[in-house]
Amino acid sequence: MGRSPADNAQLSTHRQGPASGAGPVLPSAQHGNCNRARVLYELCIMMQNSDTHTNTDSELIARDVDTTVTQLLGRVGARVRATRKRMGFSRRILSEKSGVSPRYLAQLEAGEGNISIGLLQRVALALDCRIDWLICEVDPWASDSTRAHRICLIGLRGAGKSTLGALAGEALGIPFVETNGEIEDLAGMPVAEVMALCGQDGYRRLEAQAVRRIVATHDSVVIAAAGGIVTEQETYDALLRNFHTVWLATSPEEHMSRVREQGDERPMAGNPEAMAQLKSILASREALHAKALVRLDTSATSVDQSIAALLDLIKEQKFLM
């Protein structure tokens, strides 16, 4: 069968190849496998372009990751340094408490230490904080985020901490915990036995552990702290950081009468100077109690009046918002 002029022209083109400087000649769509050849050619071009874009995107992602890691290390270092200073620790003391060398701590605080999770957890425990507080983008010490929905009642015995704390927890639908109860749970014995066997120092160590455990296990809670906790700087600082603190204040006379109403005659027994001593203790701790976020005077008020005032204060201060 003879070829048409169009066929001869097409065949001539294929034999001669493309003109100088011209792009590749694509087979005409009029012939056999031309469509498939055209599609394959276009796919090759697309793949080449895709590889170029993929390499560029990978480089951008790698740079973003490096920047993020650098920012994270700098943030962790700044948080560790600020928290250490806030706690009043030298780098040597933090090293002793955490088991991390002073040299490595210096690198960490400079944002140059690629610290492991395990070592960072040691540092966090030594600084009495959660590990995520050293990592998260929002500085927990710059807001109320570390206090969550935790409320702590402080004050001398007889101020109403246990009574009002239990009622507040019930009204708010959150747990109520007494630090002495946590101490007994940790020690496996009553507080009186702890004091007899371990002394005041042993009791204070358990008290610090109790506070840490409450923080670690409760985001919403009302606690009643033992009266002397304000004299232990590290433990009290932990309370102030991690709880919305309320100082329950009352007169020396009411402190004494409420303790006696509980059936405890020890404050007065054989001690004619008991009232003078109580007044002296209240005066010496006033500045410490005043570090609390708010003060609630329970003098000359009934339990119903005091709990109503406490709940109003919690609402006004947005402690549970």
Question: Domains in the chain, ordered, with CATH?
Answer: 54-140 (1.10.260.40), 145-316 (3.40.50.300)
**79 alpha-carbon distance from chain centroid:** 11
Neighbours of 127 (CB within 10 A): 22
Q: How confident is the model at residue 114 (pLDDT cuts 50, 70, 90)?
A: confident
* pTM for this model (two decimals): 0.59
Phi, psi for residue 152 in degrees, rounded to 5: -120, 130
pLDDT tens figures, 154-179: 999 889 999 999 999 999 999 999 99
Query: What's the CA gap between 171 and 197, in Å, rounded?
Result: 38
Coil, strand, or helix at residue 2?
coil
> Is the Cβ–Cβ distance between 278 and 177 less than 8 Å?
no
Confidence grade of residue 67 (pLDDT, cut at 50, 70, 90): confident
Task: Encode pLDDT of 199-247 as tens digits.
Answer: 999 999 999 999 988 988 898 999 999 999 999 999 999 999 899 999 9
Nearest CA among 280, 87, 240 for reference residue 154: 240
The total number of residues written for the chain in this structure:
321
Q: What is the pLDDT of residue 136?
A: 79
* Torsion angle in degrees (nearest 10) through CA of 194, 198, 201, 203: -10
Query: Hunting for tokens 């088991």 — which residue is that?
Result: 99
Contact 118/99 with Cβ under 8 angstroms?
no
Task: Retrieve residue 160's tokens.
Answer: 């109403």
Give the integer Cα–Cα distance in Å for 96 and 133.
Answer: 21
Read off φ and ψ for residue 173, nearest 5 degrees: 75, 30
